[in-house]
Amino acid sequence: MDRRLALAIFRAITAAIVIVAILVQVRLNLDSGLFRPLRFFALFTVLSYVFAAVVWLWLALRWRAARTRGDDLLRGASVLYLILSLVIVVVLVVGPEFQVGDPRVDLIVRKVFPVLAAVDWLIDPPATDLRMRDVGLWLIFPVVWLAFSLIRGAVDDWYPYRFLDPGPAGYRSVAYHAVALLAALLVIAGGIVALGDFGRDRRLRRGSMERALTSHP
């Protein structure tokens, strides 16, 4: 089987499973009477899962087409947001993220999907040359989401995560967590760019060697 086709099938199946898992979570919250769409889809993690699943479906559908810089930027952003979501879930979120949760959804979406995204980036590195200046584009969504979440919380007293709620600790605690998350974003993004460069260079060297061997039997 063609390697690109195999990757497309893998991405399509994974994205479909993630979307179904998210819909299962929505159904559980609907059945419990606790579903609030404007709150559910205000979670950075949920937005990241949906965004990454859509990107993977897009790449699967275009598996025959040449990879563009836009494709690589979207894919890199999805990897960054998924890994940051994993950090949020493991380090900052205490207890279940949703009022009513399913352990299978928790495992597939919150833990397995980010790991698969990182592995996918390693085995199929970007085709274009990404630089640290591209990280600025990746940071737009998290920064806008953070500002929106803080403004919304100040208006209706609901914050998507406890570490964003000023509460008794005040905005100094919020600022501390925001700076820590920004630092984590920069470190993770730098790693994504570096691993992408390494994988692309290795693929180019391997292709050069194969062409040299073919031209000199």
Tokens linked to 164: 């964003």
What pLDDT is stored for residue 93 in this prediction?
A: 77
Say what percent of the chain tops pLDDT 70. Answer: 89
- The residue ranking higher by pLDDT, 83 or 133, is 83
Cite the DSSP H helix spans in the chain.
3-32, 37-40, 44-61, 69-87, 103-105, 113-123, 135-156, 171-215
Question: What's the pLDDT band for 136 if we cut at 50, 70, 90?
Answer: very high
* The token pair that represents 129 in the structure block: 């040359």
pLDDT for 155 equals 93
The DSSP-derived string for 190-209 is HHHHHHHHHHHHHHHHHHHH
Among 1, 210, 185, smallest CA distance to 83 is for 185
Q: State residue 90's pLDDT score.
A: 85
78: nearest Cα among 93, 104, 57: 57
| pTM (two decimals) | 0.89
Given the structure tokens 């952003």, which residue do they identify?
77
Interatomic CA distance for residues 85 and 47, integer angstroms: 10
Encoded tokens for 138: 């990746």
Q: Which residue's entry shows tokens 């059945």?
A: 31
**Number of domains forming the structure of the chain:** 1
Assess contact for 86 and 114: CB atoms under 8 A. yes
More confident of the two residues 93 and 60: 60
What per-residue confidence (pLDDT) applies to 91?
A: 83
Provide the residue type at 136 as one letter. Answer: G
> Are 109 and 81 contacting, i.e. CB atoms less than 8 angstroms apart?
no
- What's the CA gap between 54 and 41, in Å, rounded? 15
Residue ranges making up the domain that contains 62: 3-215
Give the count of beta carbons closer than 10 Å to the beta carbon of residue 191. Answer: 15
Of all residues in the chain, the percent with pLDDT exceeding 90 is 58
Question: Over the stretch 70-119, which tens digit does the pLDDT of each residue have?
Answer: 999 999 999 999 999 999 888 877 655 555 567 888 889 989 999 999 99
